[in-house]
Amino acid sequence: MPGMRLRSSRPRPTSIELCAGCGGMSLGLEAAGFTPLLQVERDAHCVRTLALNGYTEETSVLRADVAAVDFTPYRGRVDLVAGGVPCQPFSTSGLSNGAGDERNLFEHAVRCVRECAPRAFLFENVAGLLRARFAEYLQGVLARLRALGYAVECHLTDASLFGCPQRRRRCLIVGRRDGVAYVPPTPTTPTPPTVRQMMTDLGPPDGENAHVLHGRLPREYKQHGPSDLDRPAKTVLSGPNGPGGGKNCVRLDDGTMRFFTIRELCRVQGFPDTFVPSPVWTQAMKQLGNAAPPLLIAAWARGLLPARRAVSRSAARAAPPAATADA
C-alpha cells in the first residue's frame, strides 16, 4: 500500500556459539542482531537452563563436546562464530595451566572458524589470557586465525563500561574477513553503576522471580571479600569462592554480609529480569559465574554485523538492569 513501510524480508545474520553455558552470550548475540544457528554445550544442567529461556535442542542447541563437533556442514551458512571457551586454564583464580589444561578449547575454536568460514568471529575469555606467561600461546592462536584470512584484534575491556554493575575485565578476540575495519564500541556507562543502584528497585528479597535470600551463611575470605554497596560488584566467580562465599556476596549497611540473591546476581552479570535461571541454587551460582555478560557481548558483537545491517537497540532482549549510573 502507498505510504506503508514494508518490513524487510532480508534474513537476520546467523551465529554459531561454542560453549553456550546458560545463555549469556546467546542473549548478547541476539540483542546485537544475530540469530543462533547452532549453540554447542555439553553440560546437561546448562542445556536445561537454555531450554528455560527458549533455546532448545529442537531449534538450535546441540548437547555435545565442542571437540567432537564437525562444523563443515555450516560452511557458507554462518555470519559469526562466537564463544566463551573455558577460562579456567588462564584464570588467576585457578591453576593457570594454559595450553596444557585439558579444558583449553582454543584449538577447536580455530578449527570451527576454519571449517565453517564465517564472516567474523568473537571469542571471550578472562583478562588472565593476556599475562606474559601466555603471550607465546596467544600469539600462536592469533597467527593461526590470521592465516585463515581474517583481520584479528585482541582487546581488553570491562563489563562495567557497558551497563553491568560489576568490575569484570575481559579479553575479547575479534576478527573479520570482509575488509571492514573493526571499531570498538564506545562505553555506554563510563561511570559504572553500583551495587546499590542495581538493588534499589528490587527491594528486600521477597521470594519472587528468583529474588530469594539463601539460608546458608557465606564465608569471608581475605582475598575475596564481599562487594560494597556503593561500588560496582567485584568479579563474581564460579567455584570455591562462588557458592562458598567471597565475591558472590554483598556487605550491607549494617555491616552484615549475605549472598547476592540469584536475581541480583543476574543483574550484576547484565542479564535481563526476564531471564530464567536454573532453579538449583548451586547450579545458578555456577552458571552465572561462568557466563559472558549479555550487555558486554551485545555492544561488541554489533560491530561485527554484516555491512549495512543494523538492529534497533530498543528491541534487544538483553535489556540493561533497571538502575543506571545516573540513577
3-state helix, strand, coil in the chain (%, to 5): 30, 15, 50
CB 16 within 8 A of CB 80: yes
* CB hemisphere CA count around 123 (13 angstroms): 25
87 is catalytic: yes
Q: Which of the following is catalytic: 22, 87, 171, 249? A: 87
**CA dist 46 → 28, 39, 54, 150, 213 (Å):** 17, 11, 13, 31, 23
Task: Give the distance from CA 244 to its chain's centroid.
Answer: 22
Structure-block grid coordinates of residue 157: 575491556
Termini Cα distance of the chain: 44
What stretches of 163-209 adopt beta strand conformation (E)? 169-176
What cell numbers appear for 75 in the block?
560452511
Which residue, chain included where needed, has cell 575469555?
125
With a CB cutoff of 8 Å and minimum separation 6, the contacts of 58 are none
Query: How far from chain centre, in Å, is Cα 196?
Result: 23
Which active-site residues does the annotation give? Answer: 87
